Amino acid sequence: MNLIAKVPPDTQDDLEFYGETVSSRLLLGTALYPSPQVMADAVKASGCQIVIVSLRRESARGKIGERFLELINSLGVHVLPNTAGCRSAKEAVTTAQMARELFGSAWIKLEVIANDDTLQPDLFGLVEAAEVLNKDGFKVFPYTTEDLGAAERLVGAGCRVLMPWGAPIGTGRGLANPYALKTMRNYFPDIPLVVDAGIGAPSHASQAMEMGYDAVLLNTAVAKAADPVQMATAFAMAIDAGHMSRRSGLMETRDMAAPSTPVAGTPFFDLGASSKT
């Protein structure tokens, strides 16, 4: 049985990206699934309202065509095209322009990769491309690191959302630098922040939401699961749980134990005195 995660209306608030409102805080990639139908079923089960499509990757595999676009459109979700695989600002800008023409959307997930082993973002190229694309009317979702200097420049370039990595893409390591992610959250209290990449388990996603992040973007952890549909459901539930717990007010951590049962009114017996009678 496929379950669709649901949160009571009074405990879930909506999220806004560039004037578009969504209720789901899960952004889901469309690559690596066993089949397009499994991908579609996973998207439906997750309840997500934004899916990511890599123009370069899908074109290389021959998937960007009328049938694939029809399947994506049938899901009734927002499409966030991706410049995955681009190694320079110029290449990313050209890919973004192609994506806008193909999908008819100004939304773009901007990736400029610096290193083949880690797929770490090229922060210099990222800022350069973001400046060009924002001036050209794009709504840029930049895939970045936790670097606050680069983040400030991206915001200054016109980006109204930041997407720092949790760990390198596809590693499943979770939040490799939680301290830096917390710092970024505190530094940009009014900017939507999305943890993007490296998420391997629902608990990782819940941790990000408990830190106060607004959403989580993932792909491999769902697409490569033994049951992608059930895993998509698990992630949706974990993200909702993490967000609800953050809003509810997490308890503060302590160095020493604190009794949950009050001491006042507890009977005390003098065992020494009773043994003399």
Which has the closest alpha carbon to 107: 82, 70, 72?
82
Distance CA 152, CA 132 (A): 16
DSSP string across 13-49: --EEETTEEES--EEEE-SS-SSHHHHHHHHHHHT-S
- In Å, what is the CA distance from 89 to each residue of 30, 56, 111, 141, 212? 24, 15, 9, 15, 31
- Active-site residue flag, 109: yes
User: Residue 232 is which amino acid?
Assistant: A
- In Å, what is the CA distance from 274 to each residue of 90, 135, 158, 271? 87, 86, 78, 5
Say which residues have a Cβ less than 8 Å from residue 177's Cβ, sequence separation at least 6. Answer: 146
Cα atoms in the 13 Å half-sphere on the side-chain side of 107: 18
Active-site residue, selected from the candidate residues 109, 182, 224, 276: 109
Q: What is the CA radius of gyration of the chain?
A: 22
Q: Which residues are catalytic, by number?
A: 109
